[in-house]
Amino acid sequence: MKAMVLKEKGKLAILDMDFNETLGADDVRIKIHTVGICGSDVHYYTHGKIGNFIVKEPMVLGHEASGTVIEVGENVKSLKAGDRVCMEPGIPDLHSRATMEGIYNLDPDVVFWATPPIHGCLRETVVHPAMFCFKLPDNVSYAEGALVEPLSVGLQAVKKANVKPGDVALVTGCGTIGLVTGLAALAGGCSKVIISDVIQPKLDIAAAYGMVPVNITTQNLVDVVKNETGGWGTDIIFEASGNEKAIANIFEPLCPGGKVVFIGMPVEPVPVDIVAAQAKEARMESVFRYANIYPRAVALLGSGKINVKPLVTDKYKFVDAIKAYDYAANPEPRSVKTIIEM
């Protein structure tokens, strides 16, 4: 079948590949419909690595996906051919200690699409365990289904933050992850979400959702936070940019005793001001993917409590997938999520 392959840093190709995927009794075979381009895909393309995850051999890209079930294994009762689904891309060892502890996203042996050396899903069909496939409500499109993956990251961050009704949150970074984290925070009970970035068109999208946008090229973030919180600071900061400068000053807008949740993944290690954290007795959490979140994300989309439609700003056909990645690596300021349709 045709597949989108990162041959090495900076080199993409659409190739014919044979995956020899046997349908197991508990699996489904899915015809891929839509795949979102994630920042991690772009990092692998442009840098060849993210931290210790290094591309050492050709790898099929893509892990944000939706599609249609075309075949089911003999034990599968929850899905049938014709069902529209989104797929959770990480498959843990179901008998591992991490899985038994409820943190299967941290299983050292998890098999996660498009994380070296595991092939991703930007190809014609995939075989996937039925228990990690989720039926889309009739009112949720394939494009929205593909965005369940980044939305799950935002929901995991809100879960880790232990949001209380009325909390004020700050999100640093207004890309896809920052925006879905802001939406998740509002859905989770935050009374106000402040969001910062340097790109005004993205901030305009956040403002349309009711978030308080801060363009740090023209505004002082700490001053805006003080003004919005009566001088106290934000209860929670979601760091979604992975930017060294943002992380260096991350504790300044935080209220005493507040919490910082690190979501963005810097390409290289960055310093964290521990003394600044201690001065506020800041609590720190981090997010690595998600666990037991996909059903909640699908339910929130189906109910209309979260609307991700405005985040899909650019669409490409699979035959133009290389162009799509080149665009995602250097997008227009208005761009949030680029998707590829098969």
User: Given pLDDT bands bounded at 50, 70 and 90, which one contains residue 261?
Assistant: very high
91-150: pLDDT as tens digits: 999 999 999 999 999 999 999 999 999 999 999 999 999 999 999 999 999 999 999 999
**187 φ, ψ to 5°?**
-65, -30
pLDDT of residue 30: 98
Tell me the average pLDDT across 155-172.
Answer: 98
- Structure token digits, residue 185: 């925070």
292 inside domain: no
Which among 77, 133, 78 is positioned nearest to 298, based on CA atoms?
Answer: 133
CATH classification of the domain holding 322: 3.90.180.10
Name beta bridge partners: 254. Answer: 234
87 inside domain: yes
State whether 98 and 234 are in the same domain. Answer: no
Q: What is the mean pLDDT of the chain?
A: 96
pLDDT of residue 50: 81
State whether 130 and 33 are in the same domain. Answer: yes
Q: How many domains does the chain have?
A: 2
Which among 40, 137, 129 is positioned nearest to 88, based on CA atoms?
Answer: 129
State whether 114 and 203 are in the same domain. Answer: no
Q: What is the pTM of this model?
A: 0.95
Tell me the average pLDDT across 294-323.
Answer: 97
Residue 215 and residue 192: Cα distance in Å, rounded?
A: 17
56-67: pLDDT as tens digits: 999 999 999 999
State whether 6 and 128 are in the same domain. Answer: yes
State whether 118 and 178 are in the same domain. Answer: no
State whether 140 and 8 are in the same domain. Answer: yes
- Cβ neighbour number for residue 10 with a 10 Å cutoff: 11
Residue 146 and residue 140: Cα distance in Å, rounded?
A: 10
Whole domain around residue 37: which residue ranges? 2-147+308-341
pLDDT at 205 over 90: yes
pLDDT of residue 2: 96
- Structure token digits, residue 177: 């992850």
205 inside domain: yes
State whether 28 and 115 are in the same domain. Answer: yes
**Which amino acid appears at position 34 of this protein?**
T
- Structure token digits, residue 155: 């929901």
pLDDT at 241 over 80: yes
> Which letter does DSSP use for residue 125 in this model?
E
User: Given pLDDT bands bounded at 50, 70 and 90, which one contains residue 268?
Assistant: confident
169-184: pLDDT as tens digits: 999 999 999 999 999 9
User: Given pLDDT bands bounded at 50, 70 and 90, which one contains residue 301?
Assistant: very high
